Amino acid sequence: MWILGSPLFLVLVGSSVSGTSDLNITAGSGENVTLRCEDPNINQDSSLEWNRTDLEKEKHLLSFRSRGVNLDHQDESFQNRVSLKNSRMKDGDLSVVLENVKINDSGTYECRILQKNGSHREMVPISIIHLLVSPPGDERQQGGGQDGGGDKGGLGGGQEEKGTSQGVFVGVVLAVLAVVVVVVVVVVLRILKKKKGSTQSSDNHQDVELDLLDMNSNPERNPADSAA
């Protein structure tokens, strides 16, 4: 039992010591995404930095220093799209909102705070978020990943699926109506053809009757009379 439980114990202890959260988020293109980060010990004098691991070393999404947001080294792709969720970082909320996400925004984001150990200072990540942005119409937009996903959640995907089902239903109905119309036309043509044939037969019968009546009203003359 101790052998089986020890790996889990080590994982839990490691997570507690590092204090780093790791989240996976899926969002649809065009949504607003909340990148979550919390530190109850943060204060207005603390230094905070949001970064994406594939950006240049001096570039970032947003930094907070000297009681204010610093955008001097913000990567241009994030300009006018990133802001603190709580401008006063109340209750240690260091989350940021990334607006109108694009496919190129997919990547690994880190929330870092400045830790001091004597003369040594280091920006240490306390939250790591793996963001995947799906293109428009992709089924993955239905999910919001884990906590902190796109603000629209799965609503857009559900509506899209509903619209697709309605389109299929309409297509089936139209196909059935087309078959019914073809069948009706064929039946009508056959009825008309049959009527026409019956009319012609009736006319021929009437002609024969008229001929017989004519012969009866004008009997042939006697051969003797014809000779005379």
Q: Is residue 105 part of a domain?
A: yes
Q: What does the block give as tokens for 91?
A: 């209750």
**What is the mean pLDDT for each group of 10 consecutive residues in the chain (228 residues)?**
37 41 92 94 82 91 84 91 90 93 96 86 92 80 50 47 67 86 86 73 58 58 48
| Helices and strands of the chain, counted as H and E runs | 3, 9
Domain count of the chain?
Answer: 2
Give me the pLDDT at residue 204, please: 59
Using the 3D structure, point to which of 122, 157, 192 is the last residue of a domain.
Answer: 157
d(CA 101, CA 27): 8
Q: What's the pTM value of the predicted model, to 2 decimals? A: 0.54
Q: Is residue 126 part of a domain?
A: yes
d(CA 74, CA 154): 31
Q: Is residue 221 part of a domain?
A: no
